[in-house]
């Protein structure tokens, strides 16, 4: 039952398809009869694809994902190439090559059908975002996701690649241009202009959305990030690494949904993950109730943000040290020929990556509040005024992170900023139900440059080391 041209499968035709494909039928039926019963359930809850869980009566399982030539959540009015399935399977396999514990096995890929067969991430795996909404802690999350990010980003960059293999890989993933264009539109364009697709918690955030569209300093920084996203082929990035692209249990962390993958800036992946954790943090107040004030959970989220970056940093540098005499052509050992110089080069590299991470993370936060696709963290807060309150806090912080990212020197300062802005606004909320004064002050600092910024930072108690005119600045 090979198809010579694309057709959308349903539960019935999928069963027939599976039986005709040895790499799938062997996973489901072993060496047994193909007449055993299959249970097939469509579970796709994302924006883009149809996803089926397939179970056989003898305990075999698989997930089948089929891409359609339009965005599922919007319909045929927003076409998007189904060729993305090719890039998804290629990227997933490449990422699994480097981080086999944190990306599921691909059993089968059919380019004609835009169909991927892969490991079924069995219960109790759930989407991380849903765990964050439910207030569940994942003690190994930071350890695992930092492993995934460090290994996939390092090994697909010029720190590991030769120039020739890098250019070859970059060229291939240029083919995923339609998906890049989609990201450019929804992350870097639509939120900053009037667009039919934008929406927000109205009327509460009407002025906030308008303020974003009128914020020149913000739009200038967004242009810089957009150009980095469009032009800088630093590593094979997942390019959609939010908390909905990660499946978790207490022991397992699995990254899925690689259809946006291409050679882009590393900070886009790290920023997507951290930015979505920050959104989760700001949404917690909307999920707090008399049984659980979520205070301890918020602390766990902050610890996970801090650990994720710090573990990533450590693992990435360890890989760099390990491979310093390897095939990577970015820093030749004959030039970067002593430990001090290599350390300086690493510091400079990580500093830029950190600022990229904050910028991209902030852009991803903004787009989830005033752009087309929102996050369940906020959407599941049914009281609109409470939701808007949470979203406004997140938006305020995101604007500061984006515009002032170069002033942050360590992730602990970011955590302090999150914490402090939430604390002050809570304090204020107790005496006054109006808007907090803290974020306007930070935003004011962002506008008026370092002098006011310094005062705000001293006020926030963050250990800011100011740029000293050295080459690190």
**Site for its own copies contains 61 (CB under 8 A):** no
Which tokens hold the place of 61?
């399982």
The one among 313, 403, 436, 439 contacting its own copies by CB under 8 A = 403
Among residues 71 and 235, whose Cβ is nearest to its own copies? 235
In sequence order, the β-bridge partners of residue 61 are 55
Interacting residue with its own copies among 39, 202, 251, 450 (CB under 8 A): 450
- The kind and range of the H/E element at 264 are strand 262-264
Nearest distance in Å: CB 399, its own copies? 13
Contact 369, 187 (CB under 8 A): no
Q: Taking Cα atoms as reference points, which of 106, 104, 97, 105 lies closest to residue 151?
A: 97
DSSP 425-456: HHHHHHH-SS--SHHHHHHHHHHH-HHHHHHH
Does position 175 bind its own copies by CB under 8 A? yes
Q: Which is nearer to its own copies, 147 or 221 (CB)?
A: 221
Among the listed ranges 9-17, 20-28, 104-112, 192-200, the one in contact with its own copies (CB under 8 A) is: 192-200
Q: For residue 217, state whether it binds its own copies (rule: CB under 8 A).
A: yes
Q: Of the ranges 138-146, 220-228, 293-301, 353-361, which one interacts with its own copies (CB under 8 A)?
A: 220-228
**The tokens 């989830």 sit on which residue?**
368
Sign of the Cα torsion 442, 444, 446, 451 reads negative
Return the number of the residue (57 or 227) whose C-beta is nearest its own copies: 227
Q: Which of 59, 334, 431, 433 binds its own copies (CB under 8 A)?
A: 334
CB 327 within 8 A of CB 161: yes
Query: Strand, coil or helix: what is 358?
Result: helix
Which of 112, 20, 46 lies closest to 375, judged by CA?
Answer: 46
- Helix (H) or strand (E) run with residue 399 in it: helix 384-403
Report CA 59 to chain centroid distance, whole Å.
33
**Cβ atoms within 10 Å, residue 323:** 15
Q: Contact region for its own copies (CB under 8 A) — 224-232, 269-277, 371-379, 380-388?
A: 224-232
Answer yes or no whether residue 226 interacts with its own copies by CB under 8 A.
Answer: yes
Which of 335, 382, 433, 434 binds its own copies (CB under 8 A)? It is 335
Give the helix/strand (H/E) hosting 234.
Answer: none
**Paired residues of 49 in beta bridges:** 67
Question: Does 337 sit near its own copies (CB under 8 A)?
Answer: yes
Cβ proximity to its own copies: between 141 and 395 the closer is 395
Closest Cα to residue 280, out of 143, 401, 128? 128
Q: Which residue from 3, 204, 336, 459 is in contact with its own copies, where contact means CB under 8 A?
A: 336
Q: Does 323 bind its own copies (CB under 8 A)?
A: no
Task: Supply the minimum distance, in Å, between the C-beta of residue 54 and its own copies.
Answer: 35
The three-state secondary structure class of 253 is strand
Identified binder of its own copies from the candidate list 128, 132, 180, 390, rule CB under 8 A:
180
Tell whether residue 196 is a contact of its own copies (CB under 8 A).
no
Point out which residues bind its own copies (CB under 8 A): 158, 163-164, 166-168, 170-172, 174-175, 177-178, 180-181, 184, 189, 192-194, 216-217, 219-224, 226-227, 230-234, 329-332, 334-337, 340-341, 344-345, 348, 403, 449-451, 453, 467-471
């Amino acid at each position: 039952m090979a198809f010579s041209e694309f057709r959308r499968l349903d539960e019935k035709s999928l069963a027939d398809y599976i039986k005709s494909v040895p790499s799938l039928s062997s996973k489901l039926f072993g060496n047994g009869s193909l007449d055993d019963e299959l249970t097939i359930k469509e579970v796709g809850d994302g924006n883009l694809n149809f996803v089926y869980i397939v179970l056989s009566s003898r305990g075999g399982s698989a997930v089948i994902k089929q891409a359609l030539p339009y965005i599922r959540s919007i319909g045929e009015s927003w076409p998007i190439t189904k060729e993305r399935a090719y890039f998804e399977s290629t990227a997933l396999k490449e990422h699994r090559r480097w981080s086999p514990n944190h990306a599921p096995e691909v059993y089968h890929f059919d380019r004609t059908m835009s169909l991927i067969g892969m490991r079924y991430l069995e219960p109790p795996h759930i989407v991380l975002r849903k765990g964050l909404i439910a207030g569940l802690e994942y003690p190994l999350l930071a350890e695992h996701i930092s492993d995934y990010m460090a290994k996939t980003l390092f090994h697909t960059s010029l720190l590991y690649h030769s120039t020739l293999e890098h250019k070859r890989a970059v060229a291939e993933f240029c083919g995923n241009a339609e998906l890049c264009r989609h990201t450019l539109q929804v992350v870097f364009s639509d939120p900053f202009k009037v667009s039919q697709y934008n929406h927000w918690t109205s009327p509460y955030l009407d002025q906030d959305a308008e303020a974003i569209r009128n914020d020149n300093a913000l739009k200038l920084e967004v242009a810089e990030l957009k150009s980095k996203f469009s032009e800088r082929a630093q590593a094979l990035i997942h390019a959609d690494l939010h908390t909905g692209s990660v499946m978790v249990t207490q022991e397992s962390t699995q990254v899925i949904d690689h259809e946006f993958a291409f050679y882009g800036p590393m900070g886009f992946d790290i920023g997507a993950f951290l930015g979505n954790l920050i959104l989760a943090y700001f949404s917690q107040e909307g999920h707090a109730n008399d049984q659980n004030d979520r205070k301890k959970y918020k602390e766990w989220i902050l610890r996970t943000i801090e650990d994720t970056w710090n573990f990533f940093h450590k693992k990435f540098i360890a890989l760099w040290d390990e491979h310093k005499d390897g095939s990577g052509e970015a820093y030749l050992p004959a030039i970067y020929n002593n430990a001090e110089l290599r350390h300086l080069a690493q510091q400079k590299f990580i500093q830029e990556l950190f600022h990229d991470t904050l910028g991209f993370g902030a852009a991803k936060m903004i787009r989830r509040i005033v752009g087309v696709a929102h996050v369940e963290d906020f959407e599941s807060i049914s009281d609109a005024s409470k939701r808007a309150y949470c979203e406004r806090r997140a938006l305020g912080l995101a604007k500061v992170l984006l515009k002032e990212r170069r002033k942050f020197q360590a992730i602990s300062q970011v955590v302090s900023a999150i914490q402090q802005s939430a604390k002050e606004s809570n304090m204020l909320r107790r005496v006054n139900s109006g808007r907090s004064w803290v974020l306007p002050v930070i935003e004011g600092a962002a506008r008026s440059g370092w002098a006011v910024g310094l005062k705000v930072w001293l006020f926030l108690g963050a250990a800011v080391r100011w740029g000293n005119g050295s080459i690190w600045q």
